[in-house]
Amino acid sequence: MLIKLENVEKHYSGFHLNCTMEVPEGNVTALIGPNGAGKSTTFKALLGLIFPEAGTIELFGKPIEQVTEKDKEKLGIVLSEGFFSGYLHVEDLVPVLNHFYARFQKEEFLSRCRRFELPMGKKIKELSTGMRAKLKLLIALSHDAKVLILDEPTAGLDVLAREEILDMLREYMIPGDRSVLISSHISSDLEGLCDDFYLIDQGKIILHEETDVLLGNYGVLKVTNEQYQALDRSRILRKKRESFGYSLLTDQKQFYQENAPELSMEKGTIDETIMMMIKGEAV
């Protein structure tokens, strides 16, 4: 397991993180959830930026306290907030990264910068949001990292820029022995990229599912009050009151399609699942 968090706890005033998750080799795992759910806190704990009060964190199979400088060179990082000083020019980063990482691939980095038309002679603070996001990811990809930890790499980007970034990540995963842990609240981005995802809300993981299973087996039933009363609710995960009756989230869509074909069924998406898991109530 390249990344493992077990019962990691952190208390802040009005917030309590209690997180258990893992990222195996060859996987793209997403951590999704609404703003303030605990995504960034989880990332900070994983990167050693905060100190959990309980639980264990492992990176590359080692407890985080034993992770060496050499091990950290195998990490590529994008933080939602936090980057090199905006007063540095893009071209200044080349020698800096060369000294940070023994496996820095200078030519590859420069060629990618040209491919994405990053202006080398410009200050970082003068770059557009999209340019800066691309630069952050290019740096994370620049030193043959084995694991990428990406906190909101597509935040604030338009559809085209987001797609370019997702393409870069698909390209990165081609060798098969790498892993990505990515957080985003733009879940539609993740449907075509991630193998599995963890849904976090109020500091707790409330769902872990493979993306294929979610897209194939999850669905949202739209039922009236009468239909709800008559329904076999044993395979319903969450219900939500609506003006017409109820929305019901199930992880066994096929069961209801076969046994109650008259009911309206919407395909499960990550967005729909998040909404139902967070806003809905247990049946």
Partner 1 sequence: MKGLILKDWKILRRQGHHYGMALLLICAIAFVGSKNFSSFITSYLTFMITMFAISSFNYDEYENGMAFLISMPSGRRGYVSAKYIFSILLIFSGWLLGSLIRMVFFLLRFSAAEYLEILPEEPVYLSLCLIYISFVFPVLIKYGAEKGRNIAFMILLVVCIGAFLISRLKLSVSVFAWFFALLEKTPFAAALFLLGICIAVLSISYGLSLWIMKKKEF
Find the shortest distance in angstroms from Cβ 83 to partner 1: 5
Give the residue with the Cβ less far from partner 1, 43 or 246. 43
Find the shortest distance in angstroms from Cβ 255 to partner 1: 46
Give the residue with the Cβ less far from partner 1, 9 or 191. 9
Find the shortest distance in angstroms from Cβ 226 to partner 1: 54
Find the shortest distance in angstroms from Cβ 38 to partner 1: 15
Give the residue with the Cβ less far from partner 1, 77 or 169. 77
Find the shortest distance in angstroms from Cβ 132 to partner 1: 10
Q: Please write down the HEC assignment for all residues of 48-98.
A: CCCCCCEEEEEECCEEHHHCCHHHHCCEEEECCCCCCCCCCEHHHHHHHHH
Q: What are the percentages of helix, strand and coil residues in the chain, rounded to 5?
A: 35, 30, 35
Q: Which residues bind partner 1 (CB under 8 A)?
A: 44, 47-51, 69-70, 72-73, 75, 77, 79, 81-89, 92, 95-101, 123, 125
**Residue 107 in tokens:** 């030519």
Give the residue with the Cβ less far from partner 1, 28 or 79. 79
Q: Is the dihedral of CA 251, 256, 258, 262 positive or negative?
A: negative
Give the residue with the Cβ less far from partner 1, 95 or 192. 95
- Which phi and psi angles does 90 have, rounded to 5°? -55, -40
Please report, to the nearest 10 degrees, the dihedral formed by the alpha carbons of residues 67, 69, 72, 78 taken in order: 120
